Chain A
């Protein structure tokens, strides 16, 4: 994918992203890392079009992230699964396909089943989110993101609220998706996953991109900030 940030700034109460200019091409799996408050979650939300930047623009594959066509093909996985709590895992997917993607009931059903199976949730399809484990719910939310046939899937700390065993379970499931030909952008604190899965790493600190490059930059940090980060995360 091609990613371009132009004069990008974003503020909530204070500015959290400071005038980023950045171009990146030909990578399929991009990790954004950094400490809490570094602006990484904000960046991924802006890239996905979930939020509008205060200043500047983002282009993904030469399309502005405001573009309706682009938005139709964005998959997003939230920190905690964020499934609709009153709907079964399957209905969480079919509702979206039927109402916003003009699929028939049967098509929606078969797509939902396909992706829930892909994420090993065969036996859980009719359960409510509260009746499955955190890892299962998060996998269902990955299935939901896949079901709309996205080109790019954004994952915003998908394992932040899970224990190590469930984290492993979810990340393994994500790694299995490599063959689908999708592109991934993800925020995570799990460095082993970054090394295994990312082909490019962006390190953010205080709303700026401090370092970026292939995952090898993790082993030879050039800035104090990244080496500090590596020390803390480990």
Chain B
């Protein structure tokens, strides 16, 4: 009886998701067919390698930004918990400014103002740097919550049993922090991937940019935008599903 009702529930929720996804696809299809010309992805076929490259670059630049913001975020975290008031103040001010700045503006400021001020015209570098800087305060928060989730009592227990500081980090603190860190980190990765679309502003060859280029050659704007949208979803939705899985599996 119990087994029946759980499998019944599973079936119900499967059907619910099936119809929900169908609804959305129907909506997209409606939008596509309501456009002036006939919907066809064929013109993009010859640009497929360029588009693959764009996807590759989007993922590459997102990974670099993820690692970069993890490192910068950790440094900010260390400065924030330091006893020197100036550092704490600096991080607070910096965080406020970043929170208040649209990513679009930050990329422009970085690539066209800050870069040249230091005699550098490496726009791609400064574009990625903008993404890193933009994400760092979010990463700092992730570190903050991960480290604070290890209770005072656990530290007492570590004292009691006489673990050395290396052993504490290696066997007790870091394994817990990593588990707690992972889901919000993956959410941030998804934010980075979406944010990287703005790098088209500085003509970086990522997904948005390459499809723009293809559109201007094929004049298939509608198809291009829909293709672009779906491709982003193909990257971000599996990622968010994976995040949910990790969250369930690793919860403490």
Contact = CB atoms under 8 A, between A and B. Distances in A.
- Chains A and B belong together in one complex: yes
A86 B156 contact: no
A100 B156 contact: no
B161 A96 contact: yes
A99 interface: yes
A96 B159 CA distance: 11
Q: Is the interface of B mostly helix, strand, loop or mixed?
A: helix
Nearest to A97: B161
Contacts, number: 45
B46 to A, nearest CB: 52
Interface in B158-187: 159-163, 167, 171-172, 175-176, 179
Nearest to A76: B160
A84 B162 contact: no
A99 B167 contact: yes
A82 interface: yes
B160 A84 contact: no
Contacts of B156: 50, 78, 82
B42 interface: no
Nearest to B175: A86
Contacts of B151: 82
B179 A86 contact: yes
Nearest to B153: A82
Contacts of A99: 163, 167, 171
A95 interface: yes
B145 interface: no
B171 A130 contact: no
Contacts of B159: 50
In this complex, the interface size class of chain A, counting residues with CB under 8 Å from chain B, is 10 to 19
Given A84-B172, A86-B175, A130-B252, A71 B157 contact: no
Given A95-B171, A99-B171, A100-B163, A82 B252 contact: no
Contacts of A71: 160, 162
Most A CB within 10 A of own CB, among B157, B160, B175, B252: B160
B216 interface: no
A72 B162 CA distance: 8
Given A71-B162, A100-B162, A84 B157 contact: yes
Most A CB within 10 A of own CB, among B167, B171, B175: B171
Contact of A74 (B153, B160, B179, B252): B160
B218 interface: no
B40 interface: no
A148 B161 contact: yes
B154 interface: yes
Most B CB within 10 A of own CB, among A82, A95, A99: A99
Interface of A: 48, 50, 71-72, 74, 76, 78, 80, 82, 84-86, 95-96, 99-100, 128, 130, 148
22 contacts: A71-B160, A71-B162, A72-B162, A74-B160, A76-B157, A76-B160, A82-B151, A82-B153, A82-B156, A82-B157, A84-B176, A85-B252, A86-B175, A86-B176, A95-B171, A95-B172, A99-B163, A99-B171, A100-B161, A100-B162, A130-B251, A130-B252
Given A48-B160, A128-B252, A130-B252, 20 more contacts: A50-B159, A50-B160, A71-B162, A76-B157, A76-B160, A78-B153, A82-B151, A82-B153, A82-B154, A82-B156, A84-B154, A84-B157, A84-B172, A86-B175, A86-B176, A86-B252, A96-B163, A99-B171, A100-B161, A148-B161
